[in-house]
Amino acid sequence: MVKPMKISDILNTGRVTVSCELFPPKHGSGMADAQNVVRETASLRPSFISITYGAGGGTSNHTASLAVEAQKHGIPALAHLTCVSSDRQTIRGVLSKLAADKIENILALRGDIPNGQSFPTDAQYHHACDLMKEIQSSGDFCVGGACYPEGHPESESLEKDIESLKIKADCGCRFLTTQMFFDNNILYNFLYRLLHHKIDVPVIAGIMPVTDRRQIARICKISGTVLPQRFRAIVDKFSGNSAAMNQAGIAYATEQIIDLIANDVRNIHIYTMNKPDIAGRIMNNLSEIFK
């Protein structure tokens, strides 16, 4: 096993980085398949693998186990952790387990408020920055956070949302991973705004290859993202033919990444939806560019 590296060190090498996101199964019975997905993703040699955290925390052990699995294959792991539905004791328990498992990187998130519910009145953590502070005081972790180039859906303005990112950075957040976006100009505008606010932590651009029409409704619902006309045309034309949609989705994501790297956005994160074959095809398309 290689010595796990902190994500902040990985992002500071000046080279292009490509990371992959996976999600854990809802039930323990899915762990064997999930471990295979981790193994196949690790064989692509991404810069790191991130593992999401089930809302409500019910699958927290799965997140940690899959993070350990990634590191067994020599790939640094980033474990996601959400806080809004958890109390301090639970969070401290998860942090102790991550430390014991030698997981050094945590993406600290508030988590979504469950559908139809209001913000819990007895919440012990109100924002991701509260969790970041807790993590900082709990061990030698490298902490990252989420950001939203089109603004978080609950924010009254992008400006207000960016002010909250400044708070994250001041709470020890060492890098930010973006929500998915399909128009690179949105990211470029966002990066200018971060500069204006003197937020200088590295930003990892989140790219979602859309290879199935059914993904679209969910994407728009969770991220509120704007789908460019060029992208809509592809979905309209090819979604009836799964092989063609696959190819077009991979080509679109590949083009987005080439444009990002050409414009010096060096850190790319692929939302793989647990499809290592798709991540692999994108990485293969970019093999010379990623060297």
Q: Which is nearer to ligand FAD, 108 or 245 (CB)?
A: 108
Quick one: tokens of 287? 């093999």
Question: Shortest gap between Cβ of 164 and ligand FAD (angstroms)?
Answer: 3
Q: Which is nearer to ligand FAD, 91 or 248 (CB)?
A: 91
Q: Which is nearer to ligand FAD, 248 or 279 (CB)?
A: 279
Longest CA pairwise span in the chain (Å): 52
Question: Shortest gap between Cβ of 198 and ligand FAD (angstroms)?
Answer: 17
- Burial environment of residue 34 by CB neighbours within 10 A (0 to 12, 13 to 18, 19 or more): buried
Q: Which is nearer to ligand FAD, 164 or 285 (CB)?
A: 164
Q: Which residues of this chain interact with ligand FAD, rule CB under 6 A?
A: 52-53, 55, 80, 82, 109-112, 127-129, 146, 152, 154-155, 160-161, 164, 167, 177, 179, 206
Paired with 206 in beta bridges are: 269
Question: Shortest gap between Cβ of 55 and ligand FAD (angstroms)?
Answer: 4
Coil, helix or strand for 277? Answer: helix
Separation CA 153–CA 150 (nearest Å): 8
Catalytically active residues are 21
Q: Which is nearer to ligand FAD, 234 or 268 (CB)?
A: 268
Contact 9, 78 (CB under 8 A): no
Question: Shortest gap between Cβ of 143 and ligand FAD (angstroms)?
Answer: 11
Q: Which is nearer to ligand FAD, 53 or 238 (CB)?
A: 53
The DSSP H or E segment spanning 205 is strand 203-207
Question: Shortest gap between Cβ of 203 and ligand FAD (angstroms)?
Answer: 11
Q: Write b or e for each residue in 76-89: b if 16 or more Cβ atoms lie within 10 A of its Cβ, otherwise e.
A: bbbbbbbbbbbeee
Residue type at position 180: M
Paired with 79 in beta bridges are: 51, 106
Q: Write b or e for each residue in 184-195: b if 16 or more Cβ atoms lie within 10 A of its Cβ, otherwise e.
A: bebbeebbeebe
Question: Shortest gap between Cβ of 149 and ligand FAD (angstroms)?
Answer: 10
> Which long-range contacts does 236-244 make (Cβ < 8 Å, 24+ apart)?
239/212, 239/213, 242/211, 242/212
